[in-house]
Amino acid sequence: MNGAESLVRTLVAEGVDVCFANPGTSEMHFVAALDRVPGIRCVLGLFEGVVTGAADGYARMADKPGVTLLHTGPGLANGLANLHNAKKASTAVVNIVGEHATWHIEHDAPLTADIEGLARPVSHWFGTAASASAVAGDGAAAIAAAASAPGRVATLVLPANTAWEDAGTREDAGGDAAPDAEGGAVSGTASAEAPTIVPPERVDAIAALLARGEPVAFVLGGRALRAEALEHGDRVAWASGAMLLAETFKARAERGAGRVAIIEIPYVVDAALALLKPYRHIVTVCAKAPVAFFAYPDKPSALYPPDAELHTLAAMHENGTRALADLARALRAEALQPSVQPRGDFPLPADGPLTPEAINLSVAARLPEQAIVVDESVTSGRDIFGLCGSAAPHDWLEVCGGSIGGGLPLAVGAAIACPARKVITLQADGSGMYTLQALWTQARESLDIVTIIYANRAYEILKYELRNVQAESGEKALDMMELDRPELDWVALARGMGVDAVRADTIAGFDEALARGLATTGPYLIEAVI
């Protein structure tokens, strides 16, 4: 058994059943091992940003690490943007990065690169296999690191010779240790760190704070946006008068009719400041204190009042669901019936030219039960999160790191993790162009995804930000934000990669196209011209 086979066997033993890949020469022994060792589905992406983004989406919905296979330093570099997004979302991802054979690196061949230097900024854990016999243990350590709360990015470098050389017997392989991100050692048998239970005295301190009757807002993120946690949070809110708020960019929120509704902190700074202005205390639960996405002239970075006090009920690595339940119990509110959202009604306006508002109403009205919504609509879909709060129950995923191009790949991973559920992607046209190769993977894997392209033929978010930063601009600056010379033809782009597609430019036409797409099994794209 060679090192590559020992790694694949380790992945299977650790519960890995999917690998998102764009392999090259250095990874051929790993690819070959996938044939010899059953149990792992290999999903090909034509660009590494698709691979890493898909691993992110998969892990969020599967609740276990997403695994990538990348080709040397340049392949890793192509995937860095969506690894940045995964890190900000606290997603569990394991990257296996092929490398030249150890004795070939000194010759500085064309693909020789500083893989560690590229990987460190987006990795919580990093290791390089020193020998074939170490590979299995290193793989187990990487998986344990990634699976540790709240979810981390682990990167394991696999030199080609450690993949092809003999790793010994199955019992022999995997005893060595790999260095972790702090330079120490992680045993190959290390187990994942479970979410830490919040100590009772901290719960009691927050309960005492609530008893003071001062205005309090809870900011929820991570797993605290799942349905059970929201029910506990709602009990706390009813018992104390506190407000529940969701962080602006959400890795995964469970919401819709029959679930507790929650208001998101707006992206727009003035709106966020107005929302948070009344609160004297900000309590975070698996979230950070809210800050502006960018710095703006004459505006604060912190979105909460300068005299507000910050408190932590549960840190990112702690069990926020349990903490909210314990807090409800401390307030003697555990028996309260949570207030859940009723099913809403979303009448469409009269037929006419298509608008973002009409798209959003149509989506909210037609959203299937237990759908997964991936939102990278940026500006055109800014109001849709609140609108869909009373739609059919669903999960909501967003790009959490601000690096555009995450939406289409996230949908790929989510669809593979949950093949029985419909995935709907709300995708801005400009950011969609960063990773449109994901459409090819959707077709290749016959994934049940409806992609809605908000085709405004512009980087509309940049026009908005240009005004916000008070930059004086002219014709050249504005021209950099237009996508109309030539106009993108998303129908042709999608069909060229095997995805059925249609263009809609009226309200009735879009609603009909969405109904058809939702009734279709397999990938389907609507270019919504607005």
Report the CATH number that the domain containing residue 299 is assigned in CATH.
3.40.50.1220
Would the pLDDT of 187 be above 70? no
Average pLDDT, integer, range 138-160: 97
* Total residue count of the chain as it appears in this document: 530
What confidence tens digit (pLDDT) does each residue in 313-332 have?
Answer: 999 999 999 999 999 999 99
Report pLDDT for 362.
98
Average pLDDT, integer, range 269-294: 97
Verify that 268 and 326 share a domain, yes or no. yes
Verify that 325 and 456 share a domain, yes or no. no
Verify that 132 and 261 share a domain, yes or no. no
Question: In this structure, is residue 178 part of a structural domain?
Answer: yes
Question: In this structure, is residue 194 part of a structural domain?
Answer: no
Would the pLDDT of 181 be above 50? no
Report the CATH number that the domain containing residue 450 is assigned in CATH.
3.40.50.970
Cα separation, 465 vs 72, whole angstroms:
36
Question: In this structure, is residue 163 part of a structural domain?
Answer: yes
How many domains does the structure of the chain reveal?
3
Verify that 178 and 215 share a domain, yes or no. no
Listed in order, strand segments (DSSP E) in 231-315 are 243-246, 253-255, 263-264, 281-285, 309-314
Structural domain boundaries enclosing 402: 356-529
Verify that 205 and 180 share a domain, yes or no. no
Verify that 126 and 97 share a domain, yes or no. yes
Verify that 10 and 144 share a domain, yes or no. yes
Verify that 180 and 234 share a domain, yes or no. no
Q: pLDDT band at 191, cuts 50/70/90?
A: low
Which of 138, 164, 186 is where one domain is finished? 186
Element containing residue 519 per DSSP (H, E): helix 507-519
Distances (CA, A) of 406 to 53, 72, 130, 266: 6, 22, 33, 20
Closest CA to 417 of 18, 10, 82: 18
Would the pLDDT of 276 be above 90? yes
Question: In this structure, is residue 259 part of a structural domain?
Answer: yes
Residue 463 in tokens: 């026009």
Question: In this structure, is residue 204 part of a structural domain?
Answer: yes
What confidence tens digit (pLDDT) does each residue in 127-147 have?
Answer: 999 999 999 999 999 999 999
Question: In this structure, is residue 336 part of a structural domain?
Answer: no
What confidence tens digit (pLDDT) does each residue in 333-380 have?
Answer: 999 999 999 999 999 999 999 999 999 999 999 999 999 999 999 888
What confidence tens digit (pLDDT) does each residue in 409-418 have?
Answer: 999 999 999 9
Question: In this structure, is residue 387 part of a structural domain?
Answer: yes
Verify that 181 and 210 share a domain, yes or no. no
SS3 301: coil
Verify that 48 and 147 share a domain, yes or no. yes
Verify that 31 and 148 share a domain, yes or no. yes
Verify that 43 and 148 share a domain, yes or no. yes
Percent of residues, the chain, with pLDDT higher than 70: 95
Average pLDDT, integer, range 376-396: 93
Would the pLDDT of 207 be above 50? yes
Which of 125, 153, 186 is where one domain is finished? 186
Report pLDDT for 464.
75
Question: In this structure, is residue 19 part of a structural domain?
Answer: yes
What confidence tens digit (pLDDT) does each residue in 438-489 have?
Answer: 999 999 999 999 999 999 888 787 877 877 777 777 788 888 888 888 999 9
